[in-house]
Amino acid sequence: MKRFEYLQPVDRKTWLNAFLINHAKLVILLSVVTFFWGCGSDDDDAEPTDPKNKSELLTPGNAVRPTWNEPDYHSFELTMAVQFRLQEVLESYVSENDLLCAIINDEVRAVSSPENSEGQIYFPLVIAANTNDSMVSIAYYCDQLKRIYSIDSWHQFDASLPPLNNEQPYLLEFIPTEQQE
């Protein structure tokens, strides 16, 4: 009979207390898991959900293709090689005539056209600078939309920055701005 001692009858009050305590522990555990799961979500790759913002990004302009030129890399002490990809809403408008450039102190420090690898479009840039403390701005010309998009302060120049972000090109997310002519 000793094998079934744990199955001894208990009174209703004891059973109810044990049930409520175990239920409370379960609710607390689920709350903690939900909290940390929510904090760990990767919202960095989220596309703008506002249809107005999307339509503003895709409104055709009248910009002409810029004459951005590669810098003379021998004039600089440091380089930073990085790869970029555009936000999803712009990817379908990429053409071989598009340009991406990096700008430091109002001077073009890298220029690239789009490349395609295994169906993924990316822009490789080798950015030149003399110090690691300059802010890098990014400009993108879309030939199909005849627009120039820009990010004023993408990242501080750092020659040790890895070329990829978690084995993926760095994502450029442009926000709607007034069109440049």
71/150 same-domain check: yes
Closest to 143 (Cα-Cα) out of 56, 65, 58, 84:
65
Q: What is the mean pLDDT of residues 79-104?
A: 95
Query: Which domain range does residue 126 map to?
Result: 49-172
Q: Does some domain include residue 180?
A: no
Six-digit token pair at 105? 């102190």
Q: Does some domain include residue 179?
A: no
DSSP H helices, 81-162, are 88-91
79, containing H or E segment: strand 78-86
Question: Which tens digit of pLDDT belongs to each residue from 96-131?
Answer: 999 999 999 999 999 999 999 888 999 999 999 998
Q: Does some domain include residue 94?
A: yes
Six-digit token pair at 153? 């302060």
24/98 same-domain check: no
The tally of domains found in the chain comes to 2
Question: Which tens digit of pLDDT belongs to each residue from 12-49?
Answer: 677 667 767 776 676 676 676 666 666 554 444 444 44
26/98 same-domain check: no
Q: What is the pTM of this model?
A: 0.69
55/34 same-domain check: no
Q: Does some domain include residue 3?
A: no
90/125 same-domain check: yes
